[in-house]
């Protein structure tokens, strides 16, 4: 008789054969994805998607191509999350088109819409532009920006709005609107767990955009003159520093002194 109550050596949360297989597959995927990422050309410009970063020194490190700390490189899981974000974006674009929005996300040659200024040293690429569609409370054209978020992050965005909850994204779209001369952005956040969408119309704020543009100039000039701008805090335990991939490098002199 077949024993239908038979249990394999795998115990949820334990280290049975299926857990070992998961570890093996993760290692194989991480190696493949990391190899693919390392083969891609590194960014040689300051990106609009990063200009809202609160620490100016981190922006200097990023723009200057400084290697991240050895223990801070993206692992395979994070690389899979990034790729999933692009797939979710494609899905949301399809849904919006089905709903009657004339959304364009690439040029005829397949390249992204975007801008470049300061001899190409400051650039950005938008997710798309909606040129026509149902009445949603703002005149067309409207820029389109999409983010796929965890449930917790999505709920915070719904509760507090993009400007407060996601200031880096807010800064990103302000720069896009400034350099592409568009007055509105439809920001769409997708909850990766429930597939719920949170849309928010963001109006162009000229003062914010100018301050952010000035920030970009300061970072570019700083790096090219080989002078680092101040870090956000001298305390390596500051919450921004704890999450920074350059924390060891940035605070090494302070640690040495201690």
Q: Give the model confidence (pLDDT) of 38-65 as tens digits.
A: 777 778 899 999 999 999 999 999 999 9
Q: What is the pLDDT of residue 77?
A: 78
Q: Any idea which residue has 């920006």 for tokens? A: 145
Q: What is the pLDDT of residue 10?
A: 45
Bridge partners of 132?
102
In the three-class reduction of DSSP (H, G, I as helix; E, B as strand; rest coil), residue 127 is classed as: coil
Kindly indicate the confidence band of residue 12, based on its pLDDT and cuts at 50, 70 and 90. very low
Q: Report how many helices (DSSP H) and strands (DSSP E) the chain contains, helices first.
A: 9, 8
Q: In what order do the strands lie in the sheet with 114-117?
A: 46-47, 122-125, 114-117
Q: What is the pLDDT of residue 158?
A: 98
Read off φ and ψ for residue 161, nearest 5 degrees: 85, 160
| Closest C-alpha among 47, 49, 62 to residue 167 | 49
**DSSP alpha helices (H): ranges in the chain?**
17-39, 56-63, 76-98, 151-160, 162-165, 167-180, 206-224, 239-242, 247-257
Q: What is the pLDDT of residue 40?
A: 76
Query: 125: which 2 tokens?
Result: 């690429």
Residue 118 — left, alpha, or beta (φ > 0 → left; ψ -120 to 50 → alpha)? left
Share of residues in the chain with pLDDT > 70 (%): 91
Per-residue pLDDT averaged across 155-175, rounded? 98
Kindly indicate the confidence band of residue 6, based on its pLDDT and cuts at 50, 70 and 90. low
pLDDT, one tens digit per residue, over 88-109 is: 999 999 999 999 999 999 988 8
Per-residue pLDDT averaged across 65-83, rounded? 80
Question: Cα separations (Å) of 38 from 35, 57, 73, 229?
Answer: 5, 24, 11, 28
Per-residue pLDDT averaged across 17-31, rounded? 85
**Are 246 and 66 in contact, with CB atoms under 8 Å apart?**
yes
Q: Which CATH number fits domain 73-227: 3.40.50.360, 3.30.565.10, 3.30.310.50, 3.90.320.10?
A: 3.90.320.10
Per-residue pLDDT averaged across 116-132, rounded? 97
Query: 58: which 2 tokens?
Result: 């981190």
Per-residue pLDDT averaged across 124-139, rounded? 97
- Kindly tell me if the per-residue pLDDT of 8 is higher than 60: no
Q: What is the pLDDT of residue 257?
A: 45
Query: Is the pTM for the entire model greater than 0.75?
Result: yes
Query: 222: which 2 tokens?
Result: 């700083």
How far apart are the C-alpha atoms of 250 and 258, rounded to whole Å?
14
Question: Cα separations (Å) of 229 from 80, 247, 248, 256?
Answer: 33, 15, 17, 21
């Amino acid at each position: 008789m077949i024993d239908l109550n038979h249990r394999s050596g795998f115990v949820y949360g334990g280290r049975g054969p299926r857990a070992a297989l998961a570890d093996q597959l993760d290692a194989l995927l991480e190696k493949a994805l990391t190899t693919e990422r390392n083969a891609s050309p590194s960014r040689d410009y300051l990106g609009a998607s990063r200009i809202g970063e609160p620490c100016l020194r981190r922006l200097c490190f990023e723009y200057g191509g400084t290697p991240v700390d050895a223990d801070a490189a993206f692992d395979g899981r994070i690389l899979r999350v990034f790729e999933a974000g692009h797939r979710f974006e494609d899905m949301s674009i399809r849904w919006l088109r089905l709903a009657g929005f004339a959304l364009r996300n690439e040029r005829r040659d397949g390249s992204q819409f975007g801008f470049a200024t300061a001899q190409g040293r400051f650039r950005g690429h938008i997710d798309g532009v909606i040129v026509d569609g149902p009445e949603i409370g703002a005149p067309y054209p409207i820029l389109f920006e999409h983010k796929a978020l965890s449930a917790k992050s999505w709920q915070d965005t719904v509760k507090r709005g993009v400007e407060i909850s996601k200031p880096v994204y807010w800064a990103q779209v302000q720069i896009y609107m400034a350099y592409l001369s568009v007055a509105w952005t439809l920001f769409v956040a997708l909850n990766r767990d429930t597939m719920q969408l949170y849309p928010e119309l963001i109006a162009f704020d000229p003062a914010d955009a100018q301050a952010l543009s000035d920030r970009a100039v300061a970072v570019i000039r700083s790096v090219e003159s080989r002078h680092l701008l101040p870090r956000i805090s001298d305390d390596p335990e500051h919450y921004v520093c704890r999450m920074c991939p350059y924390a060891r490098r940035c605070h090494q002199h302070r640690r040495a002194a201690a």
